[in-house]
Amino acid sequence: MIRTLYMNEQNELHRCNSPEEIQTEIKWMWVDFESATSEEMRLLRTYFNFHPISIEDATSVNQRPKFKEYDYYLFFVFQAIDLKSMKPEEIDVFINNDYIVTFHKENAEEVDKAWRNLQNSTLKAKHSTHDIMYSILDATVDNYFPFVYELEEKVFSFEDRHSVNISTEELIEETFDLREDLLMIRRTVNPMKDLVYRVLEGRLVNLSKKQRILLHHINDHLVRQVEMIESSREMTADIRDNYISLNSFKMNNIMKILTIYSVIFMPLTLIVGIYGMNFDIMPELHWNFGYLAVWLVMIFITIGMIIYFKKKHWF
């Protein structure tokens, strides 16, 4: 699907399907490709004459956020996050002063929001193609916050899980799942932060005062998101280490108790083994008080070892 907005010389905003339908002089136009067919994608090559490499980057998948300068336009790759699946989705932007072309394979709420804002704005005539792009970028970055907040809330909720009847194994598994989600969103936010920084500090893009203020605002949001993600990752690492340490502590206690039981029964087993031998000449076997004496010796050894272990604070 293709949709087009364009500003004519009279500062009037109009809409049509394909840019080929425009029959008048224009100041700029915005062409949005969503789930474009092969025939529609042909316009990238024939109508706009974009470089084949940039077209390949746009039509392929899983491109990292970046921007690149070509002869008469700039090419940007943004990464949005799907509101349902939490999967990254690519938004590609071709831009110069005369047009902005957005290309995405799925519906992009960020592009739709910028589209609606432009149509509803009372200052349409003051908008430029770069203003539109930064509006899309701002909406893209703002949409990261719900996911970052949700993951941070999950991290904080672990503090309340101690009173819940749940096994350590389940908590460890949930922690690793949470770290996987944090890693996924980190792979999106960090490159976007680098992209915005490069635009702010680079010389390829001439920024107006208004655009620079907006980019600083976007950059501040990205810095905050990165800090929240890193803080959550550190907390999950601490939670994981704490539960592993707790599990090791429990296992050590169990092993210590079993070892103490084993040590106590070792001399008793020796005594029983000795008097269980089938020799004919064993004087103690014919002694009237032999059975009682063996019991007393074993009880004395058991009590003595328990007292010794207590004094050593082994349990």
pLDDT for 184: 85
Q: What is the mean pLDDT of the chain?
A: 83
Q: Which is higher by pLDDT, 162 or 180?
A: 180
pLDDT for 220: 92
**What DSSP line would sit under 172-225, residue for residue?**
HHHHHHHHHHHHHHHHHHHHHHHHHHHHHH-SSS---HHHHHHHHHHHHHHHHH
| Whole-prediction pTM | 0.73
* CATH for the 253-311 domain, from 3.20.20.70, 1.20.1290.10, 1.20.1250.20, 1.20.58.340: 1.20.58.340
Q: What is the CATH number of domain 1-120?
A: 3.30.460.20
* CA 24 remoteness from chain centre: 47
Q: Which residues make up the CATH 1.20.58.340 domain(s) of the chain? A: 253-311
Place 94 in a pLDDT band, splitting at 50, 70 and 90.
Answer: very high
**Nearest alpha-carbon partner for 3 in 36, 26, 27, 28:** 36
Given a cut of 60, is residue 122 above it in pLDDT? no
